[in-house]
Structure 1
Amino acid sequence: MNELHTLLRSIADISDKDWLLFSSKLKRITFKKKELILSTGETESYLSFIEQGLVRFFIPKVENDMTFAFVFENNFMSAYDSFLTKLPSQYCIQALTPTTLYRLTFDDLEKIYQNTNIGNEIGRKCAEELFLIKSKRELSLLNSSAEERYLNLFKERPELIKEIPLKYIASYIGVTPQALSRIRRRIS
């Protein structure tokens, strides 16, 4: 929980009182490697902070899932559209490694917003960060080649990308596993 406290302090000047209320609402949960955190059709009930682990967001398909995001430790994650609208998710979230999350329910988040001096600022900045990640991904798909997307992903998190199966990386950058193999041969 120290990483989360440090992150929140970097976002805003959080008082000890506000931190105590915030941390009292967190629920710690662990997931095994490959375990689904959220399935298609379920409604997202949590905003989560990844203390340890790596997760992927994907749309299940009959032949090949379509991976569209990876979230690494020390970051927030959620099926945020489902969390806000309370509608069923159209995608899944899966732990790619053993993963530990600290979770807040929607109602507890609302209590934090109402009862702390800093809750709204932290919530706004976290929502902005989730938006920027989504926007960066969309722009990458529109402006970068598959090779550039692969190199950028590898540059951003080289130590963790080794944990992601190549078929998920291929799906994420929008190519087949065979095309990813050609890209990897070409750049090595």
Structure 2
Amino acid sequence: MNTTHLYHFFDTDFPLNQEGLKELIESFSESNFKKGERLLTEKSVDSKLRFLNRGVVREFYSNDQKETNINFYTKAQFITDFSSFNNLLPSRKNQECLTDVQLLIIGKDRFQQLLDKYPCGKSFIDQTFQKLLEEREEFEYIRLTKQPEEMYQMLFENSPECLQKVPQYHIASFLGITPETLSRIRKKIASK
């Protein structure tokens, strides 16, 4: 099991004592999923802490009429719905593998045991929620104040791997535009 990304995440962003870090890393198990598989469905409780080790995952809301993409995970990071995980509430989100995906997973009970054993782990939860709130506020601000072309330009500059790895119709949904409009925006930006 390759835990390099996971170890690096904790060692740099959430330093724990080395004994606690080793025990935490060893508590994760590896799971592989195929392209098209769902990792999370709305109304289910996210009871596992899931770390994206490899692959691409889209996160979206769904209703009877359409799906609206809200996030794409292309880098090694946690992809758990922390609100559902922490509060044992049904998720409103769905997650689907856009490629074959490898996750490192630990169950909520085992994770809680480690938090109880190593109090410094509580900072992980606090900082993660703070980061998620900051990202959500920034995303809402961008969605409400920027035009789709500006949003695409930001993706182009800040997340080029996302534009390379995610199908264009999903990018269009994320931007709230049609694939045809996205095509025109891409051509316009490419000609600059």
- Do the two structures share a fold, i.e. TM-score over 0.5? yes
Matched residue of 2:165: which SS?
coil
Residues 18 and 117, structure 1, Cα contact 8 Å, conserved in 2: no
Q: Which runs of 5+ in 1 are unaligned?
A: none
CA deviations over 1:111-130 (Å, ceiling 9, x no partner): 12111142112222222222
**2:10 paired residue number:** 8
Residues 6 and 25, structure 2, Cα contact 8 Å, conserved in 1: no
Q: Where in structure 2 are the equivalents of 1:105-144 lying within 5 Å?
A: 105-144=107-146
Q: What is the identity, as a one-letter code, of the residue corresponding to 1:72?
A: T
Distance 1:39 1:13, change over 3 A: closer
Q: What is the identity, as a one-letter code, of the residue corresponding to 1:136?
A: E
Q: Where in structure 2 are the equivalents of 1:11-50 lying within 5 Å?
A: 11-50=13-52
- Structure 1 runs (4+) greater than 6 angstroms displaced: none
Residues 74 and 161, structure 2, Cα contact 8 Å, conserved in 1: no
Distance 1:43 1:13, change over 3 A: closer
Question: 1:170: how far off?
Answer: 0.7
Question: 1:57: how far off?
Answer: 0.8
Question: 1:62: how far off?
Answer: 4.1
Q: How far apart, in 2, do the equivalents of 1:112 and 1:17 lie?
A: 11
Q: How far apart, in 1, do the equivalents of 2:54 and 2:99 lie?
A: 9
Q: How far apart, in 1, do the equivalents of 2:82 and 2:18 lie?
A: 28
Distance 1:160 1:8, change over 3 A: same
Q: TM-score, normalised by structure 1?
A: 0.91
Q: TM-score, normalised by structure 2?
A: 0.89
**2:153 paired residue number:** 151
**1:185 paired residue number:** 187
Q: Percent identity?
A: 26
Pick aligned residue for 1:60 from 52, 57, 62 = 62
**2:97 paired residue number:** 95
Q: How far apart, in 1, do the equivalents of 2:165 and 2:135 lie?
A: 20
Residues 52 and 100, structure 1, Cα contact 8 Å, conserved in 2: yes
Q: Which moved more, 1:166-175 or 1:17-26?
A: 17-26
